[in-house]
Every structure is written in C-alpha cells, then in structure tokens.
A and B are shown apart, each in its own frame.
Chain A
C-alpha cells in the first residue's frame, strides 16, 4: 500500500504554519462553503463519512455531534483535545506545529455545525509549549483575516478560540477529566451520565474531539463523504496518521488509508528492525493497548480488526519491542506510568496500579514469587471495569496481555532471579531512589 498525503498535505511545505501558505493551498475556502450550508447538512455529511474519533475510543463523530441539544438554551462548547499524552503518540503534534490552520478551520466548521457555540478551547498539553506558541500566532492571523471573531465572513456567526495549556496530567486526556481541567480544577473524571453532550464544561452541552478528528472535518466538507469513504474499509474510513516508535529503523508519523497491514507498516515502510534483532512484541495502539506477538501482526490497522484480535487501535501509536528487551521491564515501565498518572479518585485504580508496579519491579529485580504471574492477573481483574474512567482498564491492558503471552519469561524471572539471557536491563537499580 502506498503512503498518502491527505491530512499531511501541507506539513512539508516551507513555512507551512503560516496563513499565507495555507491560503495558497486553498485554505479557508471550505469554511466559506460550510457557512453556506446548514448545521444539519454538515452533521449529516460527517455522519455519512463514517468518521470515527481518532483519540482512542473510535466513537462516530457525527453521532457525537448529534447528541447535543438543539434548543440553544445553554451555550454549547467545543473542546479540542490536544492533550496527546498516551505513550507512543505524537501525531497531533505534527498537525499543531506544522499545519495549525487546518485544525483551526476544522474547529470553526465543527463549532458552526454544533450550533450556539461561542467559544472553543484547544486543550493542549502543557509540555507542548512550542505548539501553543504556533497556535497562538495562527489564531491571531485568522482573527486578522476575519475567520474568527464577530460575524465571521458576514454569516452572522460569532465565534472565537482559546488555547488552554494543561499542566502535565495524562488523565486530562480523558474527556470529563479534560472538562474539569478547563474549569480550573484537578483533572478528575466525572461520573457519567450525564454525558458531556448534555452537561459538560461550565454546565453547557460540550463536544470533545481529538485534533486529528477535527482536522478530518474540512476534508470531508471539501470533498464530500463519498470521497472520504474511499480511504479504508466500511466503518473504518478515512486517512489515518500512524505513529511508530521503539526499536525500529525509521520511527515517525506515517499516513495511510485506514486498513494498512501492521506487518507491512513495520517491515516495508518503517524500515524493519535493527540489524540482527528479532521481533518480540508490538503494542498497536498506545500504552494501554494489549500487546501483540509476532505471529499476530498480520492484521489491518482498523478499529474493528484490532478489537477482534483482543487489542485496540487506540491512538494508533505503535511501539515495537525487539528480542533484546526484557518484557517484564517494558511492562513495569508502562505500569509505573499508569501508577503515576492515576488521578487517585477510585480505589481500585489508585491502589491497584501501584501494586502492579511494585510486583513487576520485584519480579524484574529477582524478588519474584512463584504465584506472582497469577497474582498480576487476579489484580488486573480487580481493577478492570471498576473505576469511573478508562485509566484502570488501560493500566491492565499491557499487564494482562504480557502475562498471558509471555508467561514463560515471567516464570524465568522467578526461577532464575534474572532476565532472559540476551536481554538487557535499561534501568539500573541505584537510580530507584525517587520511585
């Protein structure tokens, strides 16, 4: 399959973040077209395109917009999720830093479609300081040209966008955590229902969409839903950005129609593994996605195919792990992440993620007990589905899959009090003082 340049059409142009470059490529023409349509026509077009959210859950975007009440009693808010904190994900950053106007045009069209939306917030993770500066500059340019502000292009639509920097918390990528964070609180997810489409930020109905999702919207309005469906397969449509990282020759962001084969992506496009190494495991959708073994990677990278294989596409962040890595240490590192990022609200997740980390750490360092593999599974079972948001489920994804698929390696650690021969340890123990 050939790489495509649809979402990333502008990113390699010189000075790609400037409004001049964007306008030369026909930018903001789609906005004019959209403002000539009714909001319902736009929502219908997005529904027909079968666009699914690119943030991780893969929920149909048009349907999400359709849930918002149309009575206009409360202001509706659009939140663009640019928190991008899932380990292995770096696709939104490409759009934000190198084609911010595509995102801005998408936000304006989306806000127009969901009606009564006075303001959108781009929730960008605090660490993306450079990206925030690019967005601020782009927003100022767009305001100057009349694409934002009062009475946009004479349509009577008043709308503006604010860049809201996060504070470095993974949980704020969860939609209700993000809403709390925009309101100036600790980013602890809310009880659902009510769903954000009914009661979200500042008490108003709220739509939360990922950067890549919103970037697809201008393309759908410009070329039509049928064109969009030409990419990928039914129910899994559109161009998609895949992030590939880890022990691979050519890591990076690759754009393909949404049914590229994982094996082909690794070996033909990303250059394969390092000299003399063998594949051990692949994480197909960010840290929370269950791992795949080498004989499971002949699979199209779609939401449905990966779900069927017991994993998930998530944010399409592929992390490649080769045979020089100890699987226990890799999983320990992911568990450490989840333990650190658990917001502390629900007991199973707050306590459980720490226990997972502790047990994996003792296994890795020769203190494992024979029952540990089963203990990990048992604990995972007591975390999954028992917390308000999906962080608990995310935390057990890598643990359960690795214990099931690499059980021998876990048992080897217990028996020999060391890693498999030929694997290296990345974290030296003396550094564990701040743990």
Chain B
C-alpha cells in the first residue's frame, strides 16, 4: 500500500513536475505504435503501454502518468487509477534488482517467510525499501503460480525456484 511518505513521488504538491517531462525513445515509440494496431480502442492499449514505460524507466512516475494519458487520450486520473490498481506497476523507484518473495500458502509451508526475513535482515532494509546504494528492493508478493517449486523468489522478470537461504545467498553474490 502506498502510504503518504515524505518521499512519496505522488504527494499532492509534487504532481506533476513539468520540468521532468518524459518521452519514449524512438525505438520504444515504434513498439507503442505497434501495440495500438492490436486493439480497437486507444484505452485498451493502456496496460501494455504502462509495461513499456516501466521497462523504459523502471517505475511509473507522475510525469509518466501524464505522458501516457496524453498518448492515449485518457484523463490522467484514470491512468493513475489503473497504475495504483495493479500491483506490478511501481509507484516509486525500485532497486536495480527487485526481489519479490512469494509468501502465499504453498510457499509459506516451505519456509518462504524465513527467506523473506533473511533477505530483509541481510540487506538491512524494511520490506518495500530500497538499499541505500539503490541496488536492491525486497518485497512480498502473492502467489506467483510456481507452487510445485516453492518457495519462489522473483528477481525482476525471472523466477528463482526451490529457494533456500543458502541458495539465496549464492544468488545475491552474483547480482552485481
């Protein structure tokens, strides 16, 4: 849940910052145009466009919301409504490696909370916080659909299955 934190990019007085105008680079713009051809309405392209934006900038800033709303002829409020509805859209910058531990029942029964607690204490962060060097963010997610290989940790787009604390330590050592 996005609480009102002093650093919250969505705090009312900061929304949006016209000096930080964003725009898709040409090759991303081309992919965006391609997406538009797949749907009968412009609004329907919203989710794929937001995925594209997050791929490009790592998170969805208030400026991105404004930009996307202009691209798709939508009200900024309705774009923000969608951003805040879906879990995957980051409403604040995340680390280079976003570690998301599934703790739903099947993973919990195979000790996912131990891994979660270990990651938080090893990296010295609260859940949802970034490490000071901006490298890692640790979070808890709901079922990732990989219950036979529980517990599973998602690092950015990749699933790391059958995890243990030892395996997690080895993985962390390889993430530069």
A130-B157, A183-B43, A431-B120 known; A89-B145 Cβ under 8 A? yes
Residues of A within 8 A of B40 (CB): 75, 202
User: A137 interface residue, CB < 8 Å from B?
Assistant: no
User: A434 interface residue, CB < 8 Å from B?
Assistant: yes
Q: Say whether A167 contacts B50, CB under 8 Å.
A: yes
User: A355 interface residue, CB < 8 Å from B?
Assistant: no
Q: Say whether B47 contacts A426, CB under 8 Å.
A: no
Instruction: Give the contacts of B90-116 with A (CB-CB under 8 A).
Output: 103-106, 108-114, 116
Q: Say whether B44 contacts A431, CB under 8 Å.
A: no
A87-B147, A168-B86 known; A433-B127 Cβ under 8 A? yes
Q: Say whether A165 contacts B51, CB under 8 Å.
A: yes
User: B41 interface residue, CB < 8 Å from A?
Assistant: yes
Q: Say whether B157 contacts A426, CB under 8 Å.
A: no
User: B133 interface residue, CB < 8 Å from A?
Assistant: no
Residues of A within 8 A of B112 (CB): 426
Using an 8 Å CB-CB cutoff, how does the interface string of B48-87 with A read, 1 for contact, 0 for none?
1011000000000000000000001010001001100111
The chain B residue sitting closest to A434, CB to CB, is B127
Residues of B within 8 A of A252 (CB): 148
Q: In the complex, A183→B74 CA distance in Å?
A: 13
Q: In the complex, A143→B161 CA distance in Å?
A: 33
Q: Say whether B47 contacts A164, CB under 8 Å.
A: yes
Q: In the complex, A129→B144 CA distance in Å?
A: 11
Residues of A within 8 A of B120 (CB): 431
Chain B: interface size category: 35 or more
Instruction: Give the contacts of A86-100 with B (CB-CB under 8 A).
Output: 86-90, 93
Q: In the complex, A426→B103 CA distance in Å?
A: 10
Q: In the complex, A427→B107 CA distance in Å?
A: 12
A168-B86, A186-B82 known; A202-B44 Cβ under 8 A? yes
Tell me the minimal C-beta distance from B32 to chain A in angstroms. 14
Residues of B within 8 A of A61 (CB): none
Residues of A within 8 A of B86 (CB): 126, 166-169, 187
Q: In the complex, A434→B101 CA distance in Å?
A: 14
Q: In the complex, A129→B145 CA distance in Å?
A: 12
Q: Say whether B89 contacts A246, CB under 8 Å.
A: no
Which of A150-158, A329-337, A362-370, A385-393 binds B?
A329-337
Which of A191-199, A257-265, A317-325 binds B?
A317-325
Interface centre among B44, B81, B113, B154 (most CB of A within 10 A): B44
Using an 8 Å CB-CB cutoff, how does the interface string of B131-157 with A read, 1 for contact, 0 for none?
000000000111111111110001001
Q: Say whether A186 contacts B81, CB under 8 Å.
A: yes
Interface centre among B45, B48, B111, B143 (most CB of A within 10 A): B143
- Besides A317-B147, A319-B106, 16 more A-B contacts (Cβ < 8 Å) are A88-B147, A90-B146, A119-B38, A126-B88, A130-B158, A162-B38, A168-B86, A181-B47, A184-B82, A202-B41, A245-B150, A246-B106, A337-B104, A427-B108, A433-B126, A433-B127
18 A-B contacts (beta carbon < 8 Å): A87-B104, A87-B143, A88-B143, A165-B51, A166-B86, A184-B44, A184-B82, A243-B148, A246-B109, A247-B109, A251-B106, A251-B147, A251-B149, A321-B109, A325-B109, A337-B105, A343-B85, A427-B113
Q: Using a CB–CB distance below 8 Å, which chain A residues touch chain B?
A: 75, 84-90, 93, 119, 125-130, 162, 164-170, 181-187, 202, 243-247, 251-253, 283, 287, 317, 319, 321, 325, 330, 333-334, 337, 340-341, 343, 426-428, 431, 433-434
Q: Which 10 A-B pairs have the closest CB atoms?
A: A167-B86, A184-B46, A168-B87, A245-B147, A168-B88, A129-B157, A87-B143, A251-B148, A184-B43, A186-B85
